[in-house]
Amino acid sequence: MILLEAHIELYVICSILLLMLFGANVKYWRPRYINQLSLIYIFTLINCVLGIGAYLVDGHVEYIVLNYALNAVYFADIIVISLLWFRYCFKMLAPELWKKTAFRVITLIPAIAQIAIALLSVKTKMIFGVDSDALYYRGDYFLLQHWSTLYLAASSLMGLKSFIGADTMEERNKAMAVSLLAIPPLILGMAQALLPAGVLTTMEFAIFMSLLAYYIFSQDNRITSDPLTKLNNRLSMDSELKEKIKNYRANRQRLFLMMLDLDNFKQINDTYGHLEGDRALVRVANMLAEVGKKYDSLAVRFGGDEFAMIVESGSDKTVEEIVSEIDKEMRELSRGERYKLSMSCGCAEYREGVSLHDFMDEADKKLYIRKNEK
């Protein structure tokens, strides 16, 4: 009886917390992803309600049919939640793969088969059954129910792969969230499969914890990434530089800060409008992100039409190569445009004992010396 009450209380707590988190998230969701993520919340809430109902009717002969129905839909719903998380992650992290119809169809088939097995268990008793005393019991093939954890495992692996190849703080945080946040429901799902029936391993609580952590990661992204260009912003740049200065000796690499400024950007805004100016900033930012990835350096939007790049290298030739690469790419970006895109660059090398402020100030002064020379 105590364990029954504990299960119901945990389901109720999860439901309340999910509703609160749902409300906090709604205003931030982008339309591109709202269907998948909102459905995860909705189906998890439904699962909590089904879990409460199944526990309340268990052992009541007059509700034996309802007991069957609640458990069948409960298990089917868990599969749907796992599938939705899988679809959300791949749509967000691997959009090109997700566009392939064959991939979507093939990955949908196991879920359809599992849902059918769960629902048919009302007759087959494969996943669960209800005895003559109206008490729930696990079927001989109960472990089949937990094949859905493969969707969570695949999501985690895709997140890890994306994290390794991420260029920006936003991309790294997003990939880390996907990689790590599938783990709590994955672990509790496996525990539920291996531990005896009745042991308190509520899957919904694990899903709530993952959604909460994902919300926190999302908030962090809004703080540390630039909303227009999606590059790291000034705050994340300061944090990154502090960390690299702190570990300067241990890294055994020379540390450079490149300050970059778009030439004649005001003229683009004044002549072609601010929307065209924003488009130019985004194109330049994407180019800098690619160059940064090539040279294992961090591209940042410092503010306005100013950018920065944090470079660690054993030679100052790397900086020269990056400047040359940026000049070449800027010429490519200018092709077919009504205006010419170019950048000025000032670079400072960190010297031990120099403060972060002085390090940035040196790079900034060199930038404006370079701009005045043009």
The residue out of 195, 224, 253 marking a domain boundary is: 224
Dihedrals φ, ψ of 160, to 5°?
-65, -45
Same domain, 259 and 173: no
Q: Is 110 in contact with 150 (CB distance < 8 Å)?
A: yes
The tens-digit pLDDT sequence of the chain (374 residues) is 445 566 666 677 777 777 776 666 655 455 444 456 778 878 888 888 888 888 889 889 999 999 999 999 999 998 998 898 899 888 888 888 988 999 999 999 999 999 999 999 999 999 999 998 988 898 999 888 878 888 888 888 888 888 887 765 566 777 777 777 777 777 776 776 666 665 445 565 566 666 666 665 665 566 677 888 888 888 888 888 988 888 887 877 899 999 999 999 999 999 999 999 999 999 999 999 999 988 889 899 998 999 999 999 888 788 999 999 999 999 999 998 899 999 999 999 999 889 999 999 999 999 989 888 76
Same domain, 193 and 246: no
Report DSSP state, residue 232.
Answer: B
Same domain, 244 and 297: yes
Dihedral angle over CA of 24, 28, 32, 35, nearest 10: 10
| 106: alpha, beta or left? (left if phi > 0; alpha if psi -120 to 50) | alpha
Q: In 225-346, where does DSSP find H-type helix?
A: 234-246, 248-251, 265-272, 274-294, 317-334
pLDDT of residue 70: 93
Distance between CA atoms of residues 76 and 70, nearest Å: 10
Distance between CA atoms of residues 329 and 290, nearest Å: 10
pLDDT of residue 24: 61
3-state secondary structure of 93: helix
Q: In the chain, where does DSSP find H-type helix?
A: 2-26, 31-57, 64-93, 95-98, 101-124, 149-164, 169-181, 183-194, 203-224, 234-246, 248-251, 265-272, 274-294, 317-334, 356-373
Q: Is 301 in contact with 229 (CB distance < 8 Å)?
A: yes
Spacing of C-alpha 292 from chain mean position: 21
Q: Which domain holds residue 9?
A: 2-224
**Strands, sheet with 343-349, edge to edge from the N-terminal-most edge strand:** 298-303, 306-313, 254-262, 343-349
Distance between CA atoms of residues 267 and 183, nearest Å: 51
| Lookup: tokens for 202 | 């509520």
CATH number of the domain that residue 202 is part of: 1.20.1070.10
Distance between CA atoms of residues 330 and 335, nearest Å: 9
Same domain, 220 and 286: no
The total of other beta-carbon atoms located within 10 Å of residue 160's CB is 14
The residue out of 169, 197, 224 marking a domain boundary is: 224
Same domain, 240 and 168: no
Q: Is residue 229 part of a domain?
A: no
Task: Name residue 344's beta-bridge partners.
Answer: 261
| H/E segment holding residue 310 | strand 306-313
3-state secondary structure of 260: strand
Same domain, 13 and 125: yes
Same domain, 71 and 209: yes
The residue out of 199, 224, 249 marking a domain boundary is: 224
Confirm whether pTM is higher than 0.85. Answer: no
Q: Is 168 in contact with 231 (CB distance < 8 Å)?
A: yes
CA angle 148, 149, 150 (to 5 degrees): 85
Same domain, 220 and 240: no
| H/E segment holding residue 299 | strand 298-303
Report DSSP state, residue 196.
Answer: P
- Tell me the CB-side half-sphere exposure of residue 79, using CA atoms within 13 A: 25
pLDDT of residue 83: 92
- Domains identified in the chain, total number: 2
Distance between CA atoms of residues 368 and 261, nearest Å: 9
Same domain, 175 and 195: yes
